[in-house]
Chains A and B, each alone.
Chain A
Amino acid sequence: MNEPVMTIENLGLEFPLGRTLYDVVQRRPGRVVNALNGVSLQLNKGETLGVVGESGCGKSTLARCIVRLYEPQHGQIHYHGQDIFEAEAKKDRSYNRRVQMMFQDPYSSLNPRMTTGQILSEALRVHDMRPANEIPARVAELLDLVRLPQDAADKLPHEFSGGQRQRIAIARSLAVEPEVLIADELVSALDVSVQAQVVNLLLELQERLNLTILFVAHDLRLVRHVSNRVAVIYLGRIVEIGDSETLFSRPSHPYSQALLSAAPSLDPDDKGKAIRLEGELPSPLNVPSGCPFHVRCRHATELCKREVPALLPRDGRGEVACHHVEELN
């Protein structure tokens, strides 16, 4: 079960920002966004790893590194033991097929001048998935798979609603029969009933094809439902990672606790249960010293301001990066 497909080690990525007028006035150099800061994790064959965390914490950056849209400045990613950023490996196009990214914003990733049928045929052709004469049948099958009517093949992306476009994007990713799916906010734009269909589809396809999935989403109910394991990211660092049910029922890290408590309940009478985070909002432009969460943490001490807590295993409770996790739980 724990056969690693992908091993990510100490991944670090900074975006340099051009000097703004404000920087010039302040007489300081351009600044850098610390998008990822020492992220290590392992993706196991056939599992779904959920990734959650505040907007801007680096989830999409992590996803983009995995599909080589970004090249990290630090650390490594190994796919079946092979360093994916090595010169030789970079020429290997099959990686791009085996590891498929599904985008947060399907509209900008679908060519507006191509019909759905053309989009899917192109994916099949580019990667030599089927002989030309079998392509139409496969396109029909893919539309069926994502529950789009057959006449969708002749329509252009703008003729669909947001949810329908998302399903086209999924069909395109599945066309090339990948091993790993990177689902970045895949179902976030969909309404619940379609979300349920897509999630069912993913779970079903995962089992049938033994797919490995990295599932980035902010709908915590959904992440809990689909994931085997979950990683909580804060300002470019993993602060907690572990078995999904354990993490959701008993989060250990103060940030995980606040995050999970903020999920809106279906019961209108359930107001006011959320731990509202106070203090300055985190900025990847200016990561606080020590524990990056200390400026908002109710339990912060002097130690927290000084030293970065390491991500350490806790007995049967995954790994947690907090100096005071034992006293607090």
Chain B
Amino acid sequence: MIDQKPILEVSNLCTTFRRGGVDLPAVRDVSFSVGQGEVLGLVGESGSGKSVTLRSILGLSRRYGDVTGEVRWLGQDIASMPERKLRHIRGREIAMIFQEPMTSLNPLLTVGMQLTETLKAHTDLNRAARRDRAIEMLDHVGIPSAASRLGEFPHQFSGGMRQRVMIAIALAASPKLLLADEPTTALDVTIQAQILDLILSLADEMQMGVILVTHDLGVVAQTCENVAVMYAGRVVEQGAVRQVLGAPRHPYTVGLMRSVPQNVPPRTQLYSVPGTPPSLEALPVGCAFASRCQNRTERCLTARPTLDAITDDRRVACFNPVAAEKAGAA
């Protein structure tokens, strides 16, 4: 499925914000590609740069910070494309589902108007067809009585329903690439299953590529082919889902897998990676995970590990990766 040429190629993406004269390296040297119909998972601690990565791909970080590196969309570098041209790609070819639905839906417009506006901007459908399509999309994402709820305002919907409206808007114009930032985090499992099914079927039938940011490793396991794990702005482990989740090699990924409440006695303390991620203003010179890592050695404090291939389709940024046998048992 991913044999074809990738549709999106991100190379050495770096995004830096400035705050009170200090540089914040929110994203560092992130590289990956997404093929037609491929679903790539992006996981990592909050603040690790997942959302900034997605926003940088869409050219939405430039207003607030400094973006370097290359973002090739169908062969064309869009990182340096002027805003005016980029606007034709955004929403139409590449759509994004934002993490905070209430801040991205317009509270003053009805749900129906917001959907049909998107369709007006990005498709050639006429008025009646736009309305039909809007109902069809709401129906797809599981909004009951879709036709009669078009006239309602976002605050009349529950949190999960607003999130589904966002998803409907993003998918309405049949994009070729979907950037989905925690799209099902606010949803319950039955609707989540339905929406993931919808995204997967679009990936399959329309050959839509997807980058799925989530912190639910179960969702990654059930939906993605490949996954990249981010920590403090960098990708620390990347590879096929089956391998990364089945036998994680980076100590941080191992910690993530261990914190899932599964096979632990109820109401007991869960495993959690000790410490907190370093603040971006004060990243250590060596490995950013060092202060929390059990495998740490002298070298980790002075040099930064690069993301290197340890097998054909697995890359890890660690001087002392967890042994393959041990990882499998974790």
Contact = CB atoms under 8 A, between A and B. Distances in A.
Contact of B156 (A17, A107, A228): A17
A204 to B, nearest CB: 7
Contacts of B273: 193
Given A193-B45, A264-B221, A281 B150 contact: no
Interface stretch (A4-12, A80-88, A214-222): A214-222
Which one of A20, A48, A160 has the highest number of Cβ atoms from chain B below 10 Å of its Cβ? A20
A185 B256 CA distance: 20
A204 B267 CA distance: 10
B266 A245 contact: yes
A289 interface: no
A196 interface: yes
B174 to A, nearest CB: 23
A219 B265 CA distance: 17
A264 B44 contact: no
Contacts of B269: 200, 203-204
B46 A194 contact: yes
A221 B187 contact: no
A91 B155 CA distance: 28
B259 A195 contact: yes
B267 A194 contact: no
Interface in A53-86: 53-56, 60
Given A193-B256, A203-B269, A204-B269, A286 B189 contact: no
A31 B154 CA distance: 17
A159 B142 CA distance: 34
Contact of B221 (A107, A159, A164, A267): A267
B69 interface: no
Interface string A233-252: 00000000000110000000
Given A161-B47, A197-B272, A203-B269, A54 B188 contact: yes
Contact of B142 (A163, A195, A228, A281): A281
B307 interface: no
A224 interface: yes
A188 B262 CA distance: 17
Contacts of A149: 276, 279
B266 A244 contact: yes
Contacts of B190: 54, 258-259, 262, 277
Interface stretch (B8-16, B99-107, B313-321): B99-107
Contact of B159 (A48, A105, A190): A105
A234 to B, nearest CB: 10
Interface string A11-51: 00001010011110000000100000000000000001000
A263 interface: yes
A265 B218 contact: yes
Interface in A182-236: 185, 188-197, 199-200, 203-204, 218-222, 224-228
Given A107-B100, A199-B270, A244-B266, A20 B152 contact: yes
A162 B221 CA distance: 23
B218 A264 contact: yes
Contacts of A281: 142-144
Given A189-B185, A268-B242, A286 B267 contact: no
A31 B142 CA distance: 20
A266 interface: yes
A164 B46 contact: yes
B259 A196 contact: yes
Contacts of A48: 267
Given A193-B256, A285-B145, A218 B188 contact: yes
A259 B189 contact: yes
Nearest to A35: B158
Contacts of B145: 283, 285-286
B16 to A, nearest CB: 15
A159 B280 CA distance: 11
Given A189-B185, A193-B255, A259-B189, A221 B261 contact: yes
B245 A190 contact: no
Nearest to A221: B261
A241 B288 CA distance: 45
B241 interface: yes
Contacts of B152: 17, 20
Contacts of B156: 15, 17
Contacts of B262: 221, 266
A263 B102 contact: no
A245 B101 CA distance: 34
Given A224-B261, A282-B144, 18 more contacts: A52-B188, A55-B188, A162-B99, A185-B186, A188-B186, A192-B256, A193-B272, A194-B46, A199-B261, A203-B268, A225-B266, A226-B266, A264-B219, A266-B218, A268-B245, A283-B145, A285-B149, A286-B145
29 contacts: A15-B156, A20-B148, A54-B191, A55-B161, A55-B186, A56-B161, A60-B158, A60-B159, A107-B102, A161-B51, A190-B46, A191-B215, A191-B256, A192-B256, A193-B45, A193-B272, A193-B273, A199-B261, A200-B270, A204-B269, A218-B189, A221-B218, A258-B190, A259-B189, A262-B193, A265-B222, A268-B241, A270-B222, A283-B144
Interface of B: 19, 43-47, 51, 99-100, 102-103, 142-145, 147-152, 156-161, 163-164, 182, 185-193, 196, 215-219, 221-223, 241-242, 245-246, 255-257, 259-262, 264, 266-273, 276, 279
Interface of A: 15, 17, 20-23, 31, 48, 52-56, 60, 104-105, 107-108, 147, 149, 151, 159-164, 185, 188-197, 199-200, 203-204, 218-222, 224-228, 244-245, 258-259, 262-268, 270-271, 274, 276-277, 280-283, 285-286
List the 4 closest A-B pairs by CB distance, nearest first. A55-B160, A163-B46, A20-B151, A283-B144
